[in-house]
Amino acid sequence: MASAVPFAFYSFILELRPQVHRELAHWRERAMRIPDPLLREGALSSIADSASHSEGAAMFGAFASRERRQAQVKLLVAFQMLADYLDTISEREDVEDVYATNVQLHKAMAVAVGAAEREDYYALHPCKDDGGYLDAIVSTCQEIVATLPSFEVTRELQKVLTSAYGESQALHHMHASEGDAMRVAQTRDEIARHPELSWHEVVVAESSTLAILALLAAAADPHLTASQAEAVQSAYYPYTNCLNIMLDSLVDMPTDRATGDIVLLDGYDSWDEARARLAFLASSSREMLPGIPKRELHEVFIAAMTGYYLSDPNARTGMTSPATAGILDALGPLVRVGTALQGWRASALSQRADGRLSSATRRGANWPGLGRKAPQQ
């Protein structure tokens, strides 16, 4: 990995923060004018919870040329905020059909990336009057996506990824017994394509937005080919997507156990199996990188993501240290550059202590890709 690449990447991180917060301020002002009080509360809550989350998503802006970066960051922040908003307003029990209602809501994501036609996203939701807020976010994404030179190359891949993400979030909000049966049925084809993964890992991989964000970044390359787009998708889905959310579960495990929340690593039969699978996901993520465009930037991004999580004190307890060591061994020198993000994590933890970040941050909202966690096996 050329030494200049990590330096340029982290310089970009420092530069992007002001724009990210300007974008969030714009949408916060827009959200305050939502007529329906519950939708307004959901919008404001999702924005308040996702400042660092949006910064993480905006890192994919480093893949764009300098003249495209401002628009690209605007797109990435809007799309990640869209995912957060939809996940927030999906958390309702007063709907007749939880699955259908939330699938309908999440169709907005496919429309945002230009992979589907507009619909009435709130058709089955009890709250509807958002004053055009959701349409405004979708339109912002659409307008910028339409200018991406290789947008058409990625369209079908994005259609598949956004559909899978929406279904995973919809299933998450169902009663566990009913939802798990549907998850097993709906992941059958994916398990056939990835027999090395369990249905539990496939569901986790589908509930991350990383691959979608990576394709939005790739589409800014005017020379992107169909085979290269598929390689970018494969570099993130399923292995890096799954690793992303499993790392979050690893560092949040003490808090989640204390609060009675789901611990995704409990989906494995034993802690030894969980450690082995984390190492497998890490090594598989690294092995999928050769041959993709701008490989070095993807290496730095995955290293930064991993280093961010593994710099958390909870990754170095008596129980989790062996898992951390296994992940570091699997990634090798790739992850060393990621330790530069320790300062970012320290900043996030300081904000949390000050009460400026809510429970969504505790769930790991400091990194892109995190939807609501999938249930344990």
For every residue of 142-165, which 3-state class applies, written as one string?
HHHHCCCCCHHHHHHHHHHHHHHH
Tokens representing 55? 């910064």
Read out DSSP for 104-152?
HHHHHHHHHTTSS----TTTTSS----TTHHHHHHHHHHHHHTT-TTHH
Burial class, 374, CB count within 10 angstroms (exposed 0-12 / middle 13-18 / buried 19+): buried
Q: Does domain 4-362 have CATH number 1.10.3470?
A: no
Is residue 314 over pLDDT 80? yes
Instruction: Average the pLDDT over 22-31 and give the result.
Output: 96
Delimit the domains of the chain by residue range: 4-362
Helix axes 295-310, 321-331, angle to 10 degrees: 170
Query: Among 162, 163, 158, which residue's Cα sits nearest to residue 218?
Result: 158
pLDDT digits (tens, 9 = 90+) for 68-122: 999 999 999 999 999 999 999 987 767 788 889 999 999 999 999 999 999 999 9
pTM of the model as a whole: 0.87
Is residue 376 over pLDDT 50? no
The pLDDT, as a whole number, for residue 174 is 65
**What's the chain's average pLDDT?**
83
Is residue 301 over pLDDT 70? yes
Burial class, 270, CB count within 10 angstroms (exposed 0-12 / middle 13-18 / buried 19+): exposed
Is residue 133 over pLDDT 60? yes
Which pLDDT band, with edges at 50, 70 and 90, does 11 fall under?
low
pLDDT digits (tens, 9 = 90+) for 325-359: 999 888 877 665 555 454 555 555 454 444 433 33
**What are the b/e assignments for 212-243, b being 16+ CB within 10 Å?**
bbbbbbbbbbeebeeebbbbbbbbbbbbbbbb
Query: Among 257, 245, 243, which residue's Cα sits nearest to residue 335?
Result: 243
The pLDDT, as a whole number, for residue 3 is 53
Instruction: Average the pLDDT over 280-289 and give the result.
Output: 93
Location of structure tokens 């169909």: 226
Is residue 305 over pLDDT 80? yes
Which pLDDT band, with edges at 50, 70 and 90, does 210 fall under?
very high
The pLDDT, as a whole number, for residue 7 is 57
